[in-house]
Structure 1
Amino acid sequence: MRRPQPVRFPLEELWDERGLVSRSCEGELGTEAIRALLKRGQVRFAVADVGVPLQWVPSNTCYAFWKDEVQPRLIEPSVAEQGVALKDLPGEYGYSASIWQSNTIPVVLLQKWH
């Protein structure tokens, strides 16, 4: 078993306590794409923050996490290209989202910006 390592960007693979989760990022996501994933069923969220190990959100809290923490701070892909003023987001931090290939449920990686 691989020991949790601090996150360094760019990420090339995702790991959890059981081992390798994914080696393939399939693209960036915005609010509507994440909502669609949640409507289809369970989604697994992981938060990547520089210098700390990848943080996995428990599946029983994923909807509340999305609604309360991520949705108000999600940086849409089209906006990210132009630059974002983090001071305009709640708490002065935000997330960019990407979807990663997984054999089980969809994995949404949230890269934290602060």
Structure 2
Amino acid sequence: MRETLVPVSLLVAVFMFPATAVMVQAGSAQATPVENYAADAGTVVCDVLDDYPTVDGVSGVVAGVMDDSGFTAYDSGAVVAEAVMLFCPYHVPLLRGYVAVYGEKSTTGLVLR
């Protein structure tokens, strides 16, 4: 009987420790409004970029996020960049093209590293 209890208690310890660590970390992390918006609207951002895969399309998506959310141009650009990274990374070259055209003149938060 003792041989059976040791492995079971070991299993409980092995599975409970990571779960507890995740719960503690999840409780301390707070998503920003930009991150929340990107997570909520990410698929829509990607759908629009699929339909309008141009620099002007990126500008339109940023403007749409600004209108819908009330975010600044910078935060709206950050939403688009984060949504692309999360949901449609195949559009990263398109965002790089946007940055290449507007570069430092842009007031959006499209920062790609």
| Both proteins in one fold, TM over 0.5 | no
Give the TM-score, by structure 2 length. Answer: 0.24
Return the structure number with greater relative CO, CA threshold 8 A, min gap 6. Answer: 1
Larger Rg: 2
More helix by share: 2
**Structure number having the greater strand percentage:** 1
